[in-house]
Structure 1
Amino acid sequence: MLGGFRRPPWWAILLTVAAALLFVRLGFWQLHRADYKDELLRRYATAAVAPAQDFAEVARRPPSDAYPRVRVQGRYLADRVYLLDNPKHDDRGGVEVYVPLRVPDSDRLLLADLGFLPGNGSGETPQLPPLPEGVQSLHGLYLPPPGHGFEMGGDALPRQTRWPKTTIYFDLDQIAADLGAKLYPRVLGVDADPASIYVRVHALDFGNMPPARHRAYAFQWFSFAIAVVVILFVLNRKRGSRPSRPTDSR
Structure 2
Amino acid sequence: MKHAIEYSVGKYKIRINFWFLIIFLLMQTLLNELGFWQLNRGKEKRVRIEQLELGGVVAVKSLVGLTNRQIEQFQRVDLLMKLSSEDIILLDNKINNKRPGYHVLNVAKDEQTGKNILVNRGWLFAGNDRNQLPDISLPAKKWKVNARIYPIQQESISTAKAAIEKHGQVYRLPVLDHQVLAELEKLTGLKLEKYLLRLDKDSQSALAVNWMWTNMPPEKHLAYAFQWFALALAFLIVSVIVCIKKR
Using the size of structure 2 for normalisation, the TM-score is 0.74
* Amino-acid identity (%): 21
Q: Output the CA distance in 1 between the equivalents of 2:30 and 2:157.
A: 31
Counterpart position of 2:244: 237
2:168 to 151, 156, 162: 162
Residue 170 of structure 1, CA deviation? 1.9
Residue 187 of structure 1, CA deviation? 0.6
The total of aligned residue pairs comes to 234
Amino acid in structure 2 at the alignment position of 1:202: W
Q: In the alignment, is the contact (CA less than 8 A) between 1:94 and 1:119 conserved in 2? A: yes
Q: Which has the larger radius of gyration?
A: 1
Alignment of 1:16-35 (within 5 A): 20=28, 23-24=31-32, 26-35=34-43
Deviations 1:135-177 (A, max 9, x none): 32312101123784635754224xx251111122223233223
Q: Output the CA distance in 2 between the equivalents of 1:47 and 1:28.
A: 29
Deviations 1:22-64 (A, max 9, x none): 744542342132132033134325644x321134246344446
Q: In the alignment, is the contact (CA less than 8 A) between 1:92 and 1:120 conserved in 2? A: no
Q: Output the CA distance in 2 between the equivalents of 1:148 and 1:24.
A: 27
Residue 204 (str. 1) matches residue 200 (str. 2): no
Deviations 1:8-32 (A, max 9, x none): 5597889867864774454234213
Counterpart position of 1:187: 196
Give the superposed CA RMSD: 3.6
Alignment of 1:75-86 (within 5 A): 75-86=82-93
The 3 A distance-change label for structure 1 pair 72 and 194 is closer
Residue 130 (str. 1) matches residue 138 (str. 2): yes
Deviations 1:78-99 (A, max 9, x none): 4111011211224343321111
Q: Output the CA distance in 2 between the equivalents of 1:156 and 1:108.
A: 23
Question: Secondary structure, in 3 states, of the residue corresponding to 2:13?
Answer: coil
Residue 188 of structure 1, CA deviation? 0.5
Q: Output the CA distance in 1 between the equivalents of 2:123 and 2:26.
A: 49
Counterpart position of 2:5: none
Q: Output the CA distance in 2 between the equivalents of 1:203 and 1:119.
A: 19
Counterpart position of 2:186: 177
Alignment of 1:1-250 (within 5 A): 5-8=12-15, 20=28, 23-24=31-32, 26-44=34-52, 47-48=55-56, 50-57=57-64, 59-63=66-70, 65-104=72-111, 106=113, 108-121=115-128, 123=130, 124-133=132-141, 135-145=142-152, 148=156, 150-151=158-159, 153-157=161-165, 160-171=166-177, 172-193=181-202, 198-204=207-213, 206=215, 211=218, 214-215=221-222, 217-239=224-246
In the alignment, structure 2 segments of 5+ residues that lack a partner are: 1-7
Q: Output the CA distance in 2 between the equivalents of 1:58 and 1:44.
A: 20
Which moves more between the two structures, 183-192 or 65-74?
65-74
The 3 A distance-change label for structure 1 pair 143 and 3 is farther
Q: In the alignment, is the contact (CA less than 8 A) between 1:72 and 1:139 conserved in 2? A: yes
Using the size of structure 1 for normalisation, the TM-score is 0.73
Q: Runs of at least 4 residues of structure 1 off by over 6 A?
A: 10-15
Amino acid in structure 1 at the alignment position of 2:83: Y
The 3 A distance-change label for structure 1 pair 121 and 205 is farther
The 3 A distance-change label for structure 1 pair 51 and 195 is same
The 3 A distance-change label for structure 1 pair 155 and 120 is closer
